[in-house]
Amino acid sequence: MNFFFPGLNPEQLLKLQEADVPSCPFDIDGLSGTVIEEALLPTAIAALGVEILGEMPTPYQGIVSVSLKAVAADSPPGREKEPEPPAVQVVQWDRAGYNEPYRMIRAVEEILLPAVRRDVRLSYVYRQPRRTVLPGPPDSLALHLGEGEEAGQYTPEVILGIPIGPYVALQPEGEGRLLIDDGFPYAQIDGNQIWVLLTLGQSCNGHEVALFRKILEEVAAELTLSPEEKVERNRQRAAEKRRRSREAYVAACAARLEKAERSTREAITAGKAQIDGLQNELLRRIREVRGLERKLPQLQAAQETDLEKYGREFDQLLAVPKVREVEVESSVVKVFTETLYCIDPRSSLRHEIGRFRIEIHTDRAEVRWQNLTRRVEAYQGGRMHAPHVFLDGSACLGNAQEIFPDLIANYEFAAAALVAIQFVESVNVGDPAGAYINRWPVAA
């Protein structure tokens, strides 16, 4: 077993050297010290003039850390003994080897000991009911971390200005003085016992140590300042808090004004761009209206001629061979045919396809076929209106794909109806769909 002596100064290291005690410089969690073999422990203690108050495991196997206290030597005749400096004694630390207390010990040594000038017995017990404090000198302080009944709530995200995140809050007990931050009691002082009312010490990480040091500053002030000094300290803290709040308020207002100014500038820029666009649109609209005004008399003059033309187109539509009726509904011209036939070039047989309603859609320039006599199980097992006309009335037009839009756009409905009839009465048996012409009945 080896022993870690933390914080030895050059004079103490020289004493070990004079006593022929080999030592090995070592750092544990940022704390410098010296490692001494177990066989030389009595010689080292005698050379340094200290006694061991307690031992704690370290993250390193075979090395324990010791808490030391100076042993007062006999004073020369006629001279009083110098008081021993206060020290930290770790009396208990749960889950040793995982939660190492070195940073916490150093915080107590640097902040609390110089203020109270009393020995401090430090312990960490994770969420256990408060227990009888281990025996110690009556003038020492007992500092407890993480010990006590749960308060049934979590701590605030920020305590004493330190972002800590939610920790388990502990319940105050007895009638000890409470130290409070924004309504949250974070510590309790009861005689020579100090209770930290949250579960600090679980990991001894950066934010835990920062909050612990801040709590020690508040405890030291509570234990050492006079009532007048406490009043003045609270006044200064309140003034500082108001100053920070005022700065934050001014910054928030400035940010709102800056945002409003930025939004206004952006709106002005966008408005100007919109005005330019509207002016251009206005000019374009004016030109369009003037053009339409010039076109209107021409349309009015041609109206009677066009009406006569459309009437002649309707008459021509009725005159198309095999057309027996024409109806017009909204944007659809419906052409009703006589029975249409188609010859299978493979057998020269004439097949009866049926009577059709051919729908010419003027709004989207397309044609649909509806067989009013029969539908036949043909291409791909579908119920076809004709060899090349599918269930929904659409067709595989092939070379006629571009004919119908052109005819419909020019109001040549008679020609469109003629082509639509011819399409039903012709077949391409080389096409997979046209090969099923023999499924339609042979004409008598």
Q: Which of 339, 354, 343 is nearest to 389 (CA)?
A: 354
- Is the pLDDT reported for residue 30 higher than 80? no
Average pLDDT over residues 320-341: 92
Token digits of residue 60: 């390193």
- Is the pLDDT reported for residue 182 higher than 50? yes
SS3 label, residue 331 = coil
372 vs 392: CA distance, rounded Å: 13
Percent of the chain with pLDDT over 70: 91
Say what the pLDDT of residue 414 is. 92
Average pLDDT over residues 369-376: 95
Token digits of residue 65: 């850390």
pTM (two decimals): 0.44
As beta bridge partners, residue 219 has none
Say what the pLDDT of residue 230 is. 80
- Is the pLDDT reported for residue 369 higher than 90? yes
User: What is the DSSP secondary-structure string of 102-145?
Assistant: HHHHHHIIIIIHHHH-S-EEEEE-TT----PPPP--TTSEEEEE
Average confidence score pLDDT of the chain: 84
As beta bridge partners, residue 162 has 159
Say what the pLDDT of residue 334 is. 94
Task: Specify the DSSP class assigned to residue 394.
Answer: -
123 CB-near residues (< 8 Å, 6+ apart): 90, 91, 92, 93, 134, 142, 143, 144, 145, 147
Token digits of residue 314: 């309707």
Q: What is the dihedral of CA 12, 14, 18, 21, to 10 degrees?
A: 70
Say what the pLDDT of residue 136 is. 59
Q: Do 165 and 146 meet the contact criterion of CB atoms below 8 Å apart?
A: no
Amino acid of residue 308: E
Task: pLDDT band for 77, please (50, 70, 90 cuts).
Answer: low
305 vs 191: CA distance, rounded Å: 115
Which carries the bigger pLDDT value, residue 353 or residue 32? 353
Average pLDDT over residues 257-269: 86
Percent of the chain with pLDDT over 90: 25
Q: How far is C-alpha 375 from the geometric centre of its chain's CA atoms?
A: 59
Say what the pLDDT of residue 73 is. 56
Say what the pLDDT of residue 82 is. 61
Average pLDDT over residues 211-234: 88
- Is the pLDDT reported for residue 108 higher than 60? yes
Say what the pLDDT of residue 75 is. 47
Residue with tokens 């330019």: 276
Which carries the bigger pLDDT value, residue 376 or residue 33? 376
28 vs 31: CA distance, rounded Å: 5
Token digits of residue 70: 């100076």
Q: Which of 100-104, 209-213, 306-310, 426-430 has the lowest mean pLDDT?
A: 306-310
Token digits of residue 19: 């006593």
Average pLDDT over residues 407-413: 87
Q: Which of 136, 155, 247 is nearest to 197 (CA)?
A: 155
Average pLDDT over residues 3-20: 85
Token digits of residue 426: 């012709």
322 CB-near residues (< 8 Å, 6+ apart): 337, 338, 340, 421
Average pLDDT over residues 316-335: 91
Q: Interhelix angle for 206-224 vs 227-319, to 10°?
A: 140
**For the segment 129-151, what is each residue's pLDDT rounded down to a tens digit?**
776 555 556 678 889 988 888 88
